[in-house]
Structures are given as structure tokens and as C-alpha cells.
Amino acid sequence: MASAKRKRENFAEAIYRPSHIKSTDLQTTNRRTSRRSLVSTQAPAASDVEKGDINRSSDEVDESIATLKLAAESVTVRVLRETADEQARVIQVMRSTINAKDLKNQKLYRKIERRDKRVGRLSKRVERVDFALFRTRLAEA
């Protein structure tokens, strides 16, 4: 014997079928939007061909195919444009990051050059002092 809770769960998951609509009139698909809510949507027909209209004109079929192709192409183009825009934004961010790093590197290189100049001047001064000491030692000897 099923418990009351289980009966409620089974009832909540049951497909809603109103008695005044025959199941053959509308094909519907059911989609659960939450644990308790069930949305019923009309199912799209496979090829929009009614049961009695099998010998449909090829012009209508070609027109439907052309319409579907155009729709698919426009969606593809839109997706490609969005992807390209996203990639352009990423590239722009990367460029700005690179520019910021380049500025920082240039600043550091200028700092290093100033220090190299200072070291060069100090080494020349040391050489002059050494030469002067060497001369004084020679003069004393």
C-alpha cells in the first residue's frame, strides 16, 4: 500500500490532460520548471505536413528549406559576430596590459641607464684616484 506522501508525489508528477481536449488534437510536450510546476507547450510538427497532405508541392518545400537556411545562416552570422566582438574586447584588454607593461619596462630601463652612467663616472673617478696614488708612490720612491 502506497503512503499518502508517495501518492501526492505521483499525482504531482502526472501529466496534466484536460478532459475537453483529445490527446490527438494537440501534440504537447511537458517541461518541468520547478519541482511542482509543469509547463505544457505545443510540440512543433516534424515537417508541418498534415496527415492528408502528403503530396505537397515541391515549391512550398523548397521555400520552407530556403527559409530555414536563411534563419540558420542569420543565427550563425550573429553568433560569429558576437564571438568576434568578444575576441576583439579580449585583444584590446591584452594590448592595454602590454602597453602598461611596456611603459613600466621603459621606466625601469631608464633607471638602469642612469645607474650605469653613475657607475661609469664612479669607475673613472676610481681610476684617476688610483693613478694619482701610483704617481705619488713613484715620486716618493
What percent of the chain shows pLDDT beyond 70?
61
- The answer to whether the CB of 73 falls within 8 A of the CB of 58 is no
Residues with Cβ within 8 Å of residue 34, at least 6 apart in sequence: none
Residue 139 has what pLDDT? 85
Most confident of 27-41, 48-62, 92-106: 92-106
User: Residue 131 above 60 pLDDT?
Assistant: yes
* pLDDT-derived band at 121, boundaries 50, 70, 90: very high
Residue 109 has what pLDDT? 96
The domain limits of the chain are 59-140
46-63, pLDDT tens digit by residue? 555 455 456 667 778 788
Per the prediction, the chain carries an average pLDDT of 78
d(CA 30, CA 52): 27
Residue 99 has what pLDDT? 94
* Mean pLDDT across 23-27: 54
Residue 74 has what pLDDT? 86
SS3 of the chain: helix, strand, coil, percent, to 5: 65, 5, 25
